Amino acid sequence: MILRMVWPAWALLLVLGPLLALCVAGWWRARRSEGRGGGWLRRAAMVLATLVIGLAPAVPAETTQVETNAEVFFVVDRTGSMAAEDYDGAQPRLAGVRHDLVALVEALPGARYSVIGFDSQASRQLPLTTDARAVRTWAETLRQEITRFSAGSAVDRPREALAEALAGAATRNPGNVRLVFVLADGEDTSGADDPSGGTAGFAELAGLIDGGAVLGYGTTAGGRMRTYDGTESTGPGTAAPWILDEASPGSPPAVSRIDETNLRRLAAALGVPYAHRIAPTPVADLVAGIDVEELAADGRRDVSTYRDVLWPAAAVLAVLVAAEAFAQAARWRRLSGIPA
């Protein structure tokens, strides 16, 4: 038997602890003054029954073989540079990201998927879900960050969010296989004095990762980017002004170039391969080395399920509540002088 904890332990103690103490105190006072205290014992039993329900005891139901126990984390760069028009000719890099997100989901069916997006900040865009359509919908609506809110690019910006997501997944389902795919251009304009280009901290996450890849977008020649204000009339494919390089004389249109050195460092830190993506090509080679069944050959494909055993405590609580209601009704009749 295990305890699945419907409520956190601190919440159970905070709410039920004082109630139980009140019942015990009431029983002790009633015993001393009236020589009885059955009502308070009944209320204490109600609190204890509620505690049992909150602890949610469960017994093993069965162990099943799942199609895949892979958890796939997509880390997606949405900074302004990802709108640079140097993918598959003059398409924005985000067009490649959209294609590859959908293709990877199709190549890894039956998994659970999560998306972490990063621009001026990193955030979980999609929690782990088996709904592949949710990833496709997110990819279809993927846009660059609003230009005036841009704080530049930083490769290490999603590290903390990814670390939190991986650690949480490892705690909840330690037997699952975790795959990480980073889709970015590697640019780092944060100005941080870091010889690793901001990638060193990712090495701490390698032990939580079973596979994946770093996908790089853009070219060494680079591309210009349209400004984006959140409306359909701006951004790639529109006549919106170019993002300007304010640090250069005359403020010419800024040109973003892929930083493959950073991307390769990132891949090495995570312990996954690097792939340069310049056109919408198949992703079979990106997942060819990922055999979820082989990665989980230590038995991690066996998933145990549990059956909650709440009904005994719930039944006892229902009886106690009915008895308390009957006792209170009788007490009210006595106080009101109504004959029974």
Per-residue pLDDT of the chain (340 residues; tens, 9 = 90+): 778 777 788 888 898 999 999 988 888 888 888 777 778 888 999 999 999 888 888 887 765 554 568 899 999 999 999 999 999 999 999 999 999 999 999 999 888 999 999 998 999 999 999 999 999 999 999 999 999 988 877 889 999 999 999 999 999 888 889 999 999 999 987 656 566 557 888 999 999 999 999 999 999 999 999 999 999 999 999 999 999 999 899 999 999 999 999 999 999 999 999 999 999 999 988 888 776 555 544 444 455 667 788 888 899 999 999 998 988 888 888 777 766 5
Are 215 and 252 found together in one domain? yes
Within this chain, do residues 90 and 54 fall inside the same structural domain, yes or no?
A: no
Phi/psi of residue 140, each to 5°? -65, -30
Residues 215 and 275 in one domain: yes
> Both 310 and 173 in a single domain?
no
Residue 280 backbone dihedrals phi, psi, to 5 degrees: -75, 80
Rg (CA), the chain: 29
Q: Are residues 96 and 175 in the same domain?
A: yes
Task: Please give the residue range of the domain that contains residue 18.
Answer: 2-62+305-336
3-class secondary-structure state, position 225: coil
Residue type, 76: V
User: Total structural domains in the chain?
Assistant: 2
Q: CATH no. for residue 96?
A: 3.40.50.410
The pLDDT of residue 197: 58
Give the position of tokens 């109600």. Answer: 46
Nearest C-alpha neighbor of 222 from the set 257, 266, 186, 272: 257
Nearest one of 220, 237, 258 to 91, comparing CA atoms: 237
Same domain assignment for residues 166 and 83: yes
pLDDT of residue 153: 79
In terms of domains, do 316 and 278 share one?
no
